[in-house]
Amino acid sequence: MGLRRRALEGLRGLLLLLHTVAQITAEQEVENLSGLSTNPEKDIFVVRENGTTCLMAEFAAKFVVPYDVWASNYVDLITEQADVALTRGAEVKGRCGHNESELQVFWVDRAYALKMLFVKESHNTSRGPEATWRLGRVQFVYDSSEKTHFKDAVSPGKHTASSHRLSALVTPAGKSYECQAQQSIPLASSDPQKTVTMILSAVHIQPFDIISDFVFSEEHKCPVDEREQLEETLPLILGLILGLVIVVTLAIYHVHHKMTANQVQIPRARSQYKHMG
């Protein structure tokens, strides 16, 4: 019995070791590829599991954070504003699931941390069931004792700003979300009566159903980009239509004028018959 017990304990130890190695390997497959971006403000993050890309995110992010400082009389409080940008070369973690995926980013010695939770779900529509994914939750942790962005903050320390019932970046399943325009997402802070604003731009994200390694699937453009693209192309389309109308009008006039000139002129007065024949 003692030999059997030791064998079982050895097997449990081996399984625990394999589980630990698998966790370490999964962490090692999270990559920050911001050096590949030509935009110095944009980061590219990739989460890979089992040697395959399962989450890709490319975006620029900035956080507008209000905080209190003492007024010159050292009695009243006034509110200042810190603009905290997500810097390149940040530490990255992530996980992928069938219906939930998460991206975690840390920078400035973990004074700042961003967590983005993505959710995939199905909906019943008149055309049948349709699957979409969305950004379901955002959490931003910031340390107001960090002197680069927060100067003379009152009661400095760590605070957490989170979204509530967020439904952003809604995209059909199997597609990536792309939006060049700025998008603002308000976050309620643990710092009393403060609202942090997350500003995303140059966004390209796909947290599910990536078919090719390191390659985004077909893009689903945000409504703002589609409207701007229409506003850019509409004058060109109208100009082409107007030009076509002018060309057709001139062609019709030219044909009509030529046919009229070739017709035999019939005399209207009897006196004109004398000169004929």
Q: Identify the pLDDT of residue 240.
A: 60
Neighbours of 56 (CB within 10 A): 23
Q: Identify the pLDDT of residue 129.
A: 85
How many percent of the chain have pLDDT more than 70? Answer: 70
53, 176 contact by CB (below 8 A) = no
Q: Identify the pLDDT of residue 5.
A: 55
Q: Identify the pLDDT of residue 14.
A: 40
Q: Where exactly are the structural domains of the chain? A: 12-221, 223-255
Taking the C-alpha atoms of residue 203 and residue 200, their distance in angstroms, rounded to an integer, is 7
Taking the C-alpha atoms of residue 182 and residue 225, their distance in angstroms, rounded to an integer, is 10
Q: What are the C-alpha distances in Å from 92 to residues 32, 102, 212?
A: 7, 11, 21
- Enumerate the β-bridge partners of residue 203: 179
H/E stretch holding 196: strand 195-206
- pLDDT digit string, tens, across residues 52-96: 999 999 999 999 999 999 999 999 999 999 999 999 889 999 999
Q: Identify the pLDDT of residue 85.
A: 96
3-state secondary structure of 109: coil
Q: What are the C-alpha distances in Å from 163 to residues 17, 23, 83, 195?
A: 37, 29, 18, 10
187, 140 contact by CB (below 8 A) = yes
Q: Identify the pLDDT of residue 16.
A: 42
171, 22 contact by CB (below 8 A) = no
Name the class of domain 12-221: mainly beta
State pTM to two decimals.
0.71
User: Which residue ranges in the chain fall short of pLDDT 50?
Assistant: 3, 7-8, 11, 14-28, 228-232, 234, 277
Taking the C-alpha atoms of residue 28 and residue 114, their distance in angstroms, rounded to an integer, is 19
Residues in contact with 215: Cβ distance below 8 Å, sequence separation at least 6, in sequence order: 53
Residues in contact with 263: Cβ distance below 8 Å, sequence separation at least 6, in sequence order: none
